[in-house]
Amino acid sequence: MSQREPLKNRASQFVAALQDKICTALEAIDGTSFREDLWQREGGGGGRTRVMEAGGVFEKAGVNWSAVYGELPDVLARQMASQIFAKLGKAGASIEAGRDFFATGVSLVLHPHNPYVPTVHANFRYFEQGELQWFGGGADLTPYYGFREDVAHFHRTLKDACDQHGAHLYPKYKQWCDEYFHIKHRQQMRGAGGIFFDYLAEDLEATFAFVQSAGEAFLPAYLPIVERRKDLPYGTRERDFQLIRRGRYAEFNLVYDRGTTFGLQTNGRTESILMSLPTLAKWVYDYKPEPNSPEAAAWEFYQPQEWV
């Protein structure tokens, strides 16, 4: 890809290729093919949704690519402009950035059958609003049972990708991830974190290079964990705990997730937006894990801590 080509085109091509690469690897480890839906967005653009259900490893896996454009609702346009100006240190500036937008990205959520295999989420995106341009994204792990070596591997792989572009990036984006994926009404993290970043609008070429490194790190961060845990035996107790934790996952996605909110507010494709939700989840009234149980030990993972 030539740097003379518009950044929006190069970003879209990268995330589309990343979708292909990730889906090919997941099909190989699962033994099941993705169902693909091509769709057009009313208002401009479209996407490619790929979903796998009842696979050999994954109960539900969704990997979306989209490139959409059009006009933002006025309130959302002002909110987003305000965020980007604040990130640029121009909080006092006018927040009139226009309503025209372009967005492209790849987003995935993988829900495994086996409770010893973590759920994982990743997203890498590029956005334009008027003359404003920025990147966002990240990857985070949600284990059901806490194997510290798995979480450490995931974080270490992401840290290595960040370190190629500056030693300050991983600590910054890890903290941002811990703060973002926090279920406020539960006072608990969604999982064991990873990295998260948004509104990266300065030095766009360097930022794009970083986003590419982060995106390419996803498979080596996650697949070794799947290989290590996918064949471990489990029973009803472990499955019940997995479904309870999935309930917490669904709560975050429906109440706080920016991607869900943005998609619904901009008339996105509902099936693609909500593909992140698990097929099955469970809510138990006033759930508390049994003291000194494996579930109680896992519960301790859902708080910010150092992994590498």
The yes-or-no verdict on residue 90 having pLDDT over 70 is no
Strand partners, 120: 110, 141
Model confidence band, residue 248 (pLDDT cutoffs 50, 70, 90) = very high
**Residues 221, 154 contacting (CB under 8 angstroms):** yes
Model confidence band, residue 221 (pLDDT cutoffs 50, 70, 90) = very high
Residue 300 is predicted with a pLDDT of: 84
Percent of the chain with pLDDT over 90: 76
> Mean of the pLDDT values across residues 162-188?
96
Classify each residue of 2-25 as buried b or exposed e, where b means 16 or more C-beta atoms within 10 Å of its C-beta.
eeeeebbebbbebbbebbeebbeb
Q: Which domain CATH number covers 40? A: 3.40.1500.10
Q: Note whether residue 1 is domain-resident.
A: no
Q: Note whether residue 134 is domain-resident.
A: yes
Residue 16 is predicted with a pLDDT of: 98
Residue 264 is predicted with a pLDDT of: 83
Query: What pTM, to 2 d.p., does this model score?
Result: 0.92
Residue 79 is predicted with a pLDDT of: 74
> Mean of the pLDDT values across residues 241-268?
88
> Judging by beta carbons within 10 Å of its beta carbon (0-12, 13-18, 19+), is residue 165 exposed, middle or buried?
middle
Q: Note whether residue 95 is domain-resident.
A: yes
| 59 against 299, higher pLDDT | 59
| 81 against 6, higher pLDDT | 6
Q: Note whether residue 2 is domain-resident.
A: no
The yes-or-no verdict on residue 88 having pLDDT over 80 is no
Residue 259 is predicted with a pLDDT of: 78
Q: Output the CA–CA distances (angstroms, integers) from residue 74 to 67, 91, 96, 159, 240, in the order listed.
A: 21, 19, 10, 38, 44
Number of separate domains in the chain: 1
Residue 257 is predicted with a pLDDT of: 83
Percent of the chain with pLDDT over 70: 95
The yes-or-no verdict on residue 3 having pLDDT over 80 is no
Residue 96 is predicted with a pLDDT of: 58
**To the nearest whole number, what is the mean pLDDT of the chain?**
92
Q: Note whether residue 102 is domain-resident.
A: yes
**Residues 227, 114 contacting (CB under 8 angstroms):** no
Q: Note whether residue 306 is domain-resident.
A: no
Per residue in 128-162, pLDDT (tens digit) is 988 889 999 999 999 999 899 999 999 999 999 99
Our answer to whether residue 121 is catalytic in this structure is yes
> Mean of the pLDDT values across residues 75-80?
74
> Mean of the pLDDT values across residues 22-47?
95
Q: Note whether residue 307 is domain-resident.
A: no
**CA 216, 221, 227, 231 torsion-angle sign:** negative
Residue 276 is predicted with a pLDDT of: 87
Given 111, 113, 121, 153, the catalytic residue: 121
Q: CA 140 to CA 126: how far, in whole Å?
A: 19
Residue 89 is predicted with a pLDDT of: 65
Q: CA 130 to CA 78: how far, in whole Å?
A: 12
Range of the domain at 23: 7-299
Residue 301 is predicted with a pLDDT of: 85
Residue 74 is predicted with a pLDDT of: 76
Rg (CA), the chain: 19
The yes-or-no verdict on residue 92 having pLDDT over 80 is no
For 243-278, the three-class secondary structure string (H helix, E strand, C coil) is HHHHHHHHHHHHHCCHHHHHHHHCCCCHHHHHHHCC
Q: Note whether residue 191 is domain-resident.
A: yes
Q: What are phi and psi of 59, to 5 degrees?
A: -70, -35
> Mean of the pLDDT values across residues 209-233?
98
How open is the CA angle 143-243-28, to the nearest 5 degrees? 60
